[in-house]
Structure 1
Amino acid sequence: MNASESPPRRRRSRRTKSMVVAVVLAVTGSLVYATTSQGRPSGTEGTVPLGTVVPQPVKVSTDEGVAFDLEAEDAIYASQGSASAKAAAEFLAGLLRKPTGYSLPVRSLSAGDDPEGIVLSLGGKNAVTKKEGYQLDIDSKSVRIRADDRGGLFNGVATLRQLLPVKVERQQKMAGPWRVQGGRISDAPRYGYRGAMLDVGRHFMPVKNVKKYIDTIARYKVNNLHLHLTDDQGWRIAVKSWPKLTEIGGKTGVGGMLGGYFTQADYKDIVQYAAARGITVIPEIDGPNHAHAALASYAELNCDGKALEPYTGFAQSPDGNLCVDKDITYKFLDDVIGELADLTPGPYIAIGGDETQNRSKAEMDTYFGKVNKIVKKHGKKPYGWMESAGSMPKKGSLSEYWAPGISDDELIAAGKAGGKVVLAPSSKAYLDMKYTEDYPEYPVGQTWGGTVTVEQSYDWNPDTHLKGLPAKAVAGVEAPMFTETLFGIHQVEDLAFPRMLAIAEIGWAKESSHDWKTFAPRLAAQGPRLREARVNYYLDPGVPWPMGS
């Protein structure tokens, strides 16, 4: 025990029955709640049932009549010497201090210690050994989150957050109790990649709004933020060796509105903020098309040596094509990717490739062959849209599927040869699609991929979506949000939520548990939580939202 720690105290038991009944929910069929011998729902008054979590856990066991009450004297313990455990503990403490008003110091957990309170331990007696998996044990004395890696601890924290009362999302002190249902959750993700893509190129979004988006996706175990930093209408990241990219290319957006850019300090702040919530940022520099903002900034990047006028149109610029045969193009990309790689601790740099149907196979091979080497030279791995798959080394590649019939054969071939594919079908996962023909009202949202209700966004299987792609090649899922028609975080959230939760569940929960009838009520239970967190979301009529949503 540290000298600064108070002696262990005896916690009053929350056991309200003489007999504790443990019920295992395999969560493969309809959502089932454990009952007492009198047929009443299990759990202690005021607790959230363990089976209501989104995404759905692999295995849930409820201890009837048992609960943990967080009290003012409690601390949060993290494995001694573990930076990962301490980071997760500090994040959890930061979440809880405002609504509870408790000090909740973060303390070191030595081997063999068995304190009361909340305990985050790395390794040890953890039954879940899969990457990013965790075990959550709740009894009357403690809440224990065990994992074998940093991601697992953050995922356990995300689950605990949903098991606390809804008022935990408040930013001011609230009255208790802060009670958690007793039991155990053993959990691990279906896929290693669970992403959200946010486009700040078409319309810029300031740091505070990107952070708000990060806050919300982190609640649902999304572990990657694909940040679309450049496009025809705007260049959004400062590059010291090419300053005109933001001086000229960063000034405007679609319709001439919402220009702006991130300084390198801004970008580092976003990356660190995301990492503190268990999320890795993947920056994207689009090419060889969608490069009009760069071509307007530097004349020498154009094939004819003449700078373009800035582009503010809605659709892809017909002139936004990098000159793939000029050496300066690759000097430019080497400088940009080098600076970005230095600012990005994550393993990937996204290099674009979308909407390149005007390019010949030779041009695509030239461009992606050289950019692949540049990315690897700077210690990163390339990540491209599906059109790039036929021009990248197949083994070890990562590509993103977004629409049928574009380069399916190349993508399937890459998957069969050992490449990995992230599934983001526009008809299911593109969050900028309208929910219905009438909502959102014009001009917000698009329909080129179809209209997509929450149930439709939930109703698909990544392993079988692209016929011929081996299931073992599926790295995971992503929910892209393009912003041509969006004018700020309020509209972004309205389209993203609650569909983002559907995609998050597809990426996390095992396929055998996939059932709209059980997902809809669990999703509905998130409504009051999103509302308390001041997150805008759409009350899809197909979801049985409770009062307070």
Structure 2
Amino acid sequence: MPIRTAGLSARTRRVLVLAVVLLLAAVGFGVQRAIGGEDADQGGPGGTGAVPAGPRTADRIVPVPHSVTAGSGPGYRLTERTVVRTVAGTEAVERQAGEVRRVAEQLAEALRRPTGLPLPLADEASAAAGAEGISLLLDPALPEETGTEGYRLTADATGVRITARTPEGLFRGTQTLRQLLPPQIESPRAVTGGPDWTVAPVTVEDRPRYGYRGAMLDVTRHFFTPAEVKGFIDRLALYKLNHLHLHLSDDQGWRIEVPSRPALTTVGAVSEVDGTPGGFYTAADYQEIVRYAQQRYLTVVPEIDLPGHSNAILASYPELDCTRSARPWPYTGIEVGFSTLCPTGDAVFSFTQDVITELARITPGPYLHIGGDEVKNISPAEYAAFVKRVNDQVLAAGKTPVGWNQTAPGGVGVLQFWDGRSGRDAELIEAAERGAKVIMSPSGRTYLDMKYERGYPLGLVWAGTIDVWTAYSWDPDTLLPLPGGSVLGVEAPLWTETLDTPEELDLMLLPRLPALAELGWSSKESHSWDRFKSRLAEEGARWEAAGYRYEKRQEVPWPAP
């Protein structure tokens, strides 16, 4: 039956198309087959595979661990007698006991829901009573190279033990434990007639390649509620990412409360792309997002894009529009590069000071992102002077400035590489040679709003198309000729010009996010497309158990239904 879309809004037409795609996927065709794409399999053969029988072995973990040694014997089975135990240590360790207990409670709650087991928390004394289970232990004696995020996980017939130098390392280990259990462990409710909740015998020694591993969510083109952002955080935590970059301002909307600048929310927050209602985070909303992220060991990096991408600011405070670049408000299109704040004057720097002071107050993490991309209406000298002034304000507020790679001439010390056109990578390389650090986000590899192929109903194609192989098959250390040690890590931006529901976010995140997470976490020597796509294929069952949407790409050998 044809669907008539004449007279409907762009958003409504897109939702109708996506609904048909998802309906076809639900009956077994898969999203890729439903849209009839023919060019998806650029990276290698696809096909279907079978999930191996028995407990999940550690060679199926995503991201792949640093070291895995298979054990022998029956492994450990979760039962009614299983406890989650925190183990006492040195006096220094005891000072972190509350944080360790919180990690233990998070793990226990995640396992209780699907298993229906009580999984009470216990302490070391319970061992004398013969209790078995999962133990979490801080151990400063672990090798120094374990770092703050590394861990050791061992499992045998007597239980599972996770040790780390920090609570953060324990948390990363608990994510690996979840992957060692059957996929139904991700179900938000009890699994009736559940599987054998057995962990295979194994020793895992693990630590990350890069200290910065993140994803960005654009909440300006389309606004996402605090609850929806928390769901996004959950997906990042599964794959051991540790930074959430929130893009909080752009031409279409302003999304964070600044009490000294009320027009930003009364005027600048009321719209978004397609003209649907926007929204904003109060300070309490934002701090709740930060708290939720902190409990999963993700650092929130807020971004206010300056001096371009500023139409919502100019609508709120027209006196900052000396370049006469503002578009009529509300602006609901997706064109970029037209708006610019005044590059000089007390009024503009009073404004930036107010915003930076408030963001620094409510952000406990070390970074504050100042944007800086796609500025066309001021001279290079004015631009560099503006960036330097704002950079200094961020430093004075006690935060480390981050900027898109165009901010290199302004002296920003952490640069996010996205655009190598017109020699912009040359400026970044020169800055790295002077000591700047680089977050790698090349748009043709990491931008998760790019379509999988041109026929896909969501996303854009200005940076090309990105299938899973394209996202996975590159090296952050060698993509640019940077000095050794310059790469701080990897970040996957997700812009939302065409995305306005959590389900649409999921379809663009999964299965590409795990590919980029593995680039950030796993050693260079471990990277293998053939091995990765086989491990990735088993993640689909986890996403289905969790209720996450995902794109069933042809280049991934998903198990036969």
User: CA distance change for structure 1 residues 358 and 512 in 2, over 3 Å: closer, same or farther?
Assistant: farther
Whether 1:506 and 2:519 are equivalent positions in the alignment is yes
1:258 deviation in Å?
Answer: 4.4
Contact 1:433–1:450, Cα closer than 8 Å, also in 2: yes
Whether 1:494 and 2:511 are equivalent positions in the alignment is no
2:474 aligns to what SS in structure 1?
coil
- Cα distance in 2 between the residues matched to 1:286 and 1:149: 34
Contact 1:124–1:146, Cα closer than 8 Å, also in 2: no
Whether 1:450 and 2:470 are equivalent positions in the alignment is no
Question: Larger RCO: Structure 1 or Structure 2 (Cα < 8 Å, ≥ 6 residues apart)?
Answer: 2
Whether 1:58 and 2:66 are equivalent positions in the alignment is yes
Q: Which moved more, 1:245-254 or 1:407-416?
A: 407-416
Whether 1:84 and 2:103 are equivalent positions in the alignment is no
- Cα distance in 1 between the residues matched to 2:323 and 2:418: 33
- Cα distance in 2 between the residues matched to 1:433 and 1:67: 42
Contact 1:79–1:85, Cα closer than 8 Å, also in 2: no
Matches within 5 A, 1:417-428: 417-428=434-445
Matches within 5 A, 1:13-92: 46-80=54-88, 81=94, 82=96, 83-92=98-107
Q: Deviations over 1:36-64 (max 9, x none)?
A: xxxxxxx9x73101100000011100113
1:110 deviation in Å?
Answer: 7.7
TM-score normalised per structure 1: 0.87
2:403 aligns to what SS in structure 1?
strand
Contact 2:84–2:122, Cα closer than 8 Å, also in 1: yes
2:482 corresponds to? 469
Which one of the candidate residues 388, 402, 406 is aligned to 2:418? 402
Whether 1:123 and 2:166 are equivalent positions in the alignment is no
Runs (5+) with no aligned partner, structure 1: 1-42
Whether 1:361 and 2:361 are equivalent positions in the alignment is no
User: CA distance change for structure 1 residues 77 and 511 in 2, over 3 Å: closer, same or farther?
Assistant: same
Whether 1:154 and 2:147 are equivalent positions in the alignment is no
Contact 1:430–1:480, Cα closer than 8 Å, also in 2: yes
Which one of the candidate residues 199, 211, 225 is aligned to 2:230? 211
1:106 corresponds to? 121
2:25 corresponds to? none
- Cα distance in 1 between the residues matched to 2:326 and 2:238: 44
Instruction: Give the residue type in structure 2 aligned to 1:69.
Output: R
1:535 corresponds to? 548
Instruction: Give the residue type in structure 1 aligned to 2:400.
Output: K
1:106 deviation in Å?
Answer: 2.7
- Cα distance in 2 between the residues matched to 1:221 and 1:110: 31
Instruction: Give the residue type in structure 2 aligned to 1:525.
Output: E
Q: Which moved more, 1:270-279 or 1:102-111?
A: 102-111
2:553 aligns to what SS in structure 1?
coil
Instruction: Give the residue type in structure 2 aligned to 1:219.
Output: L
- Cα distance in 1 between the residues matched to 2:417 and 2:70: 39
1:419 deviation in Å?
Answer: 1.3
Which one of the candidate residues 188, 197, 208 is aligned to 1:171? 188
1:65 aligns to what SS in structure 2?
coil
Contact 1:300–1:307, Cα closer than 8 Å, also in 2: no
User: CA distance change for structure 1 residues 291 and 178 in 2, over 3 Å: closer, same or farther?
Assistant: same
Instruction: Give the residue type in structure 2 aligned to 1:228.
Output: H
1:246 deviation in Å?
Answer: 1.1
- Cα distance in 1 between the residues matched to 2:434 and 2:87: 41
Contact 2:360–2:398, Cα closer than 8 Å, also in 1: yes
TM-score normalised per structure 2: 0.85
User: CA distance change for structure 1 residues 357 and 300 in 2, over 3 Å: closer, same or farther?
Assistant: closer
- Cα distance in 1 between the residues matched to 2:205 and 2:178: 16
Seq. identity, %: 44
1:109 deviation in Å?
Answer: 4.2
User: CA distance change for structure 1 residues 192 and 334 in 2, over 3 Å: closer, same or farther?
Assistant: same
Instruction: Give the residue type in structure 2 aligned to 1:143.
Output: V
1:336 deviation in Å?
Answer: 1.2
Which one of the candidate residues 326, 332, 343 is aligned to 1:312? 332
Contact 1:79–1:86, Cα closer than 8 Å, also in 2: no
Instruction: Give the residue type in structure 2 aligned to 1:48.
Output: R
- Cα distance in 1 between the residues matched to 2:305 and 2:109: 36
Instruction: Give the residue type in structure 1 aligned to 2:533.
Output: A
Instruction: Give the residue type in structure 1 aligned to 2:275.
Output: G
Instruction: Give the residue type in structure 2 aligned to 1:438.
Output: G
Contact 1:476–1:507, Cα closer than 8 Å, also in 2: yes
Q: Deviations over 1:325-371 (max 9, x none)?
A: 12111111111111111111111011101112544232222212111
